[in-house]
Structures are given as structure tokens and as C-alpha cells.
Amino acid sequence: MYNSFMIKYGEIGIKGDNRHLFEDALAKRIRTLLKRIDGEFEVTKIRGRIYVNCGGDWNYDETIDVLRHVFGVVGICPVVIYEKDGVEKMKADMIQYVREEHPNCTQTFKVKARRVDKEFPLTSMEVAAELGEAILENFPDMKVDVHDPEILFDVEIRDEVYIYSKVIPGPGGMPIGTAGRAMLLLSGGIDSPVAGWMVAKRGVTIDATYFHAPPYTSERAKQKVVDLAKIVAKYTGPIRLHIVNFTDIQLYIYDQCPHEELTIIMRRYMMRIAEHFAKEEGDLGLITGESIGQVASQTMQSLRCTDAVCELPVYRPLIGFDKNDITAIAREIGTYDTSILPYEDCCTIFVAKHPVTKPIIEIIERNERKLNEKIDELVKEAIDTAEVVIAK
């Protein structure tokens, strides 16, 4: 019975002169995503609201699923649009709406009316009163509570009459494309997809880099990362995923450097390579899924060491999160089930039993010099042979 959705957007509503830019970006993003599913959708921006009118062969669940993936959407209100034909018709429609939407009819309620069409003979207050009365007459178990109602009926009188009473939460944040781009270091784990999602939620367009190490990591591990990128891309739009073959660099470090420092030195090279692609893409920063102390390479000392090789800022949105918090988000955004598939990651294949947890940057730099002979050439080759997959 629904035939429209009203989109609530919180934060972007208060942006000053740029407000229309954000609204347009949001409406455009919704339009783009709705093109992927069946149905004819009309996305309109009327006086500070975005409406999605649905027609053709559309499906409710599918449409909600799309809208729930749009950053900037705070709430999605399924709306029933009725023909406007005087107050008596409106009362009948209201009763029908209550019957279908809230069939047990025992809650407290409030009617809030908004008269956009100023030609309509009754004021907003009068409409609310009339409809409230109609509900009370027809549903004796329902009671009015204007302060804290269980159901809030919103009624808008435009060219037609819009009634809604439910809000499905959206992801919030800002529309993609309103805040520049950044490069995500994406692995097959739980954290990095969440980190990318969180930054993207602030309107940032996401690129990604993944390091694999065949034959030590498998084709399936790579496919898993592509799949993760695709899940994140449902929110962020297409992600350009750079896939770098890291095997030779890793083995060279293995040969030349102390084994306890393998991971930290490896990560420094990953940052350097990711930054290279970031600059190529015009990204304004790097994103990682690190959180303090989670593993040896994520201690404050280690983060200092990996940070030191980057010129661009490194954004770590999960820095203060516990694993449980991260897992909860991963489940919510749908990456968790893919993240836990058991394929080996290139960070773990040669990991030392006791890696350094408090690396001293001067020592790391000194040991890194042992790579001088071949490393530039290997890095160049890794960059040159990287493939780009568009995850969407």
C-alpha cells in the first residue's frame, strides 16, 4: 500500500549556504542507486524534504535495502499518498491507514499535520484535531498522548495527502562525494572494511589497495577482498581497488632483515605503496583499520613507525574501538560473514612468534637500509604490475 518514501536527513539540513549542494548530492546518490533495481522511481526535493515516489514493478524490501545504504539518510519513512478531496475523505483515509498499518489499535498516538497547500480550508491544527477525533471514534482503545505518543501520525497536505507513521533508520552521515577521496588499506580482515565504511560515511569517496602474496596467499583470499570491497561499495559507490603483488618484497625483507621486525617493515612498505597510488588518485589521506594495541603492529610505537613513512595523513577511524565494537559494525554493514572466511592473509604468513611490539624508529630505519640494494626496484615492479579492479 505504500507508494512513496520520505527521506529524513539530519545533519546536512543545517549546512548554511552549501545546503543545496549536499541535498543535491544526496538526491543524486539515491537516484543512482535506485537505477539498479526494478521499478520507476521519482526522486524529488520539495521544500527541504526528499521524496522517493515509487511506480512500476517496484519491491518494498528491495527499495528499503537500497535506501538504507545511502549515507546522508537518517531515516526512511514509508508514506501512503492519498488523493486530496476535502476533509471527510481525509478522515476516511486516515482510518483506513490506521487499520492497515497499526492493526492492533491499542497504542497512544498523536497526529501532526502540516498544511503545505495553503488553499486547503483547514489549518494544520484543525486538520490534526479532526483526524485525531476520527481515530478516537473508530478505535476506542487508542488514546491521545501529545507529549510521548507511541505512534506519531504525520500528515502532509500537498497536491495530495501524505500520511506516514514509521521511521526506518538509515546509516546517517553525509552523502558520498561531498568530502574528497581517500585511500583505504584493505585486507581480508574484519577491521579494514569497517574503517573504510566509517570514513566513507562522512562523505568521502573511497579508493583501496590490497596486498597479496601468491603462492602464499590464494586466489580465494584475493576474491574475498574483492567481495569485501563490493559490499562496502554498496554504500560508497564503485571502489577502485589496487591489487599489489607483495611476494617479492616480503621475501626480500625476510632474507635481509631481523625476523621480529618483518611485519613492521612490511607494513612500512605497504604504506609507501598505498600512498603512491593515493597520490595518483588524488586522495587526501590514507585509511587503515588499526586500533591501539590490537596486535604487535598496532602498538603506539608501531603506529609511529608506520606513520613515519607517510606524507599524507593516515586516518584510523577505529583507533579507540575494541574488537567487539568493530565486529558489531561489521555485522551491521554486512562485511562480517565474508571477513571471517578462513583464507590466509599476507600479513600473517611469515609472522614471527615474537614480533617487536615496541619498535624504535631509528633501529627500524637502520635495518631497513639492509634493503637498499634491491628494494626500490622491487617496489617499482610491485607498483607497475598492480592490477586495478573496480568493485561495485
Contact residues for another protein (CB under 8 A)? 214-219, 251, 254, 259, 342-344, 348-353
Contact 172, 201 (CB under 8 A): yes
* Residue with smaller CB distance to another protein, 16 or 215: 215
Minimum distance, C-beta of residue 362 to another protein, in the bound complex (Å)? 25
Q: DSSP code of 243?
A: E
Minimum distance, C-beta of residue 341 to another protein, in the bound complex (Å)? 9
* DSSP string for residues in 287-323: E----TTSSGGGSHHHHHHHHTT-SS-EE-TTTT--H
Pairing of strands 108-115, 168-169: unpaired
Residue indicated by cell numbers 560515511:
201
* Residue with smaller CB distance to another protein, 308 or 349: 349
Contact 236, 205 (CB under 8 A): yes
Minimum distance, C-beta of residue 188 to another protein, in the bound complex (Å)? 12
For residue 127, give the H/E element and its range: helix 124-138
* Residue with smaller CB distance to another protein, 25 or 378: 378
Percentages of the chain per state (helix, strand, coil), in multiples of 5: 45, 20, 35
Minimum distance, C-beta of residue 63 to another protein, in the bound complex (Å)? 37
Minimum distance, C-beta of residue 155 to another protein, in the bound complex (Å)? 55
Minimum distance, C-beta of residue 258 to another protein, in the bound complex (Å)? 11
* Residue with smaller CB distance to another protein, 2 or 343: 343
* Residue with smaller CB distance to another protein, 123 or 348: 348
Locate 17 and state its grid cell.
549556504
Kindly give, in sequence order, each residue whose CB lies less than 8 Å from that of residue 388, ignoring residues fewer than 6 positions away: 240, 241, 242, 243
* Residue with smaller CB distance to another protein, 101 or 260: 260
Q: How far apart are CA 242 and CA 67, in angstroms?
A: 28
Q: How far apart are CA 262 and CA 256, in angstroms?
A: 9
